[in-house]
Structures are given as C-alpha cells and as structure tokens.
Amino acid sequence: DIQMTQSPSSLSASVGDRVTITCQASQDIYNYLNWFQQRPGKAPKLLIYDASNLETGVPSRFSGSGSGTDFTFTISSLQPEDIATYYCQHYHNLPFTFGPGTRVEIK
Amino acid sequence: EVQLVESGGGLVQPGGSLRLSCAASGFTFSSFWMHWVRLAPGTGLVWVSRINNDGRTTNYADSVKGRFTISRDNAKNTVYLQMNSLRADDTAVYYCARGPFDFWGQGSLVTVSS
C-alpha cells in the first residue's frame, strides 16, 4: 500500500498569512492526488484534484502543486472560515489512502 | 443539485450487523462509481470500499474485507454497505462519496459497543 505523510500535523497562523502544507507519497503517484478540507462535524470537501486543479467553486486562494512523490497545498491568504483539517489523498491504485491530516487554526 | 444522504447508522454490539444506505439525487447515479469512507474518533479519513457503476466490480480495504459488502440499486439510486462481524474499531462516521470524491454525504455514525 502507498503511505501518505503530511506536515505539519497542525499549525496556527494569523488571518492573511500564507499557509503551506506538504504531502509525501511512499512511491510515485504521478499527479493522482486530491486535497480535501474538513470542518468539524462536516463532510470532507474536495478542493484540489489531479494535484493542481482547483475544483469548481473553490476560492482561488487555495492552490496545489507537485507530482511524483512530493506535493504542496497552499492557502495564499488565510481566512477565518479556513479553520479545518486538511487531508491529501492519492488515487493512483488501491487502497486510496489519505494522509493523517493537518489541523489549521487561527492565531 | 447533487445530494447524497446516508442512513442506517446506530449503536450495535460487537459481532453484530448493520446496513448503511446512501440515497443519491441530482445526477445520473448509474454513471458513477461510488465509495464509502470512514472517520474514526481521533483519527483521519480511511477509504473503505468502492463499487463501479453497474455493480459488477467491488473493492475493499483489507481491514473490512470479508466482513463488509458494498452493493447498489441503480433503480433506487442507492448504494449500500452491509457491515457484519462488527468490531469496536469499526466505530466511525461513515460517508458515501461520488466517484471522483467530488460530492459527499453528511455521514452516518456507527458505534460498536457492548
């Protein structure tokens, strides 16, 4: 199985800050990577697919990059409504494993 | 508007069974693979199972293989997850999701406890 790691596990930043989360796969997953946002008590929401494509309706402050084994997710200007846990997930082969998540808080 | 609505969760004793349902609307259900994903307390998201659009192909995480069965009824626009031999570590919120993981239900809580 492909293992997904994320860092940091949590972060605290101020409104307006640039936030970056990294995700690493244990083997080459090409660009078969999603990024999700999950607010407490809510369903996950797809933000980025194919590593860098913004899902329809998602604000442009969210972006993704990378390919192969190393990926980056960025919030260009953190907003109060961005408080959530963010997960990467690969879909190169089964099982479609998720990263352990990064909790984002407001400082 | 795409909607996925799960039901069937609840409290069950270890070794018991439960069937989750996920009713879909707002899209051509029979054209999409469907998935189940769970979120256990204090942990992250875990992919559980998937089924192809005509129901002939199914896949499972190792942790549920042989105990869980995914199925679908395209006439009813519904996907199911039959869960047998439930264990305490199956306790989680179970979500159904449309194939590309672009739409998710609100989740159904399954608690396995005596």
Per-chain mean pLDDT for chain A: 97
User: CA–CA separation, A84 vs A53, rounded Å?
Assistant: 20
SS (H, E, C) B4-53: EEEECCEEECCCCCEEEEEEEECCCHHHCCEEEEEECCCCCEEEEEEECC
Mean pLDDT confidence for B95-105: 97
B60, B71 Cβ separation under 8 angstroms: no
Structure confidence by residue, pLDDT tens digits, B65-97: 999 999 999 999 999 999 999 999 999 999 999
Structure confidence by residue, pLDDT tens digits, B28-68: 999 999 999 999 988 999 999 999 999 999 999 999 999 99
Which of B35, B50, B95 lies nearest to residue A43, judging by beta carbons?
B95
User: CA–CA separation, B26 vs B31, rounded Å?
Assistant: 12
Q: What is the pLDDT of residue B12?
A: 98
A interface test, pick of B101, B106, B108 with most A CB neighbours within 10 Å: B101
Mean pLDDT confidence for B102-109: 98
Q: A54: which DSSP letter?
A: E
Mean pLDDT confidence for A88-100: 97
Mean pLDDT confidence for A3-11: 98
Rounded percentage of chain A residues whose pLDDT exceeds 70: 100
Compute how many other C-beta atoms are within 10 angstroms of the C-beta atom of residue A30.
Answer: 13
Mean pLDDT confidence for A14-39: 98
For residue A89, which residues of chain B lie inside 8 Å, CB to CB? 45, 47, 101
Q: What is the pLDDT of residue B71?
A: 98
Structure confidence by residue, pLDDT tens digits, B15-29: 999 999 999 999 999
Give the N- to C-terminal CA distance of chain A in Å, as an integer: 36
Which of A44, A98, A99 lies nearest to residue B104, judging by beta carbons?
A44
Question: Looking at this protein, which amino acid is placed at residue A32?
Answer: Y
Residues of A with CB under 8 A from a CB of B: 34, 36, 38, 42-46, 49, 55, 85, 87, 89, 91, 94-101
Nearest CA in chain B to A50: B100
Q: What is the pLDDT of residue B42?
A: 86
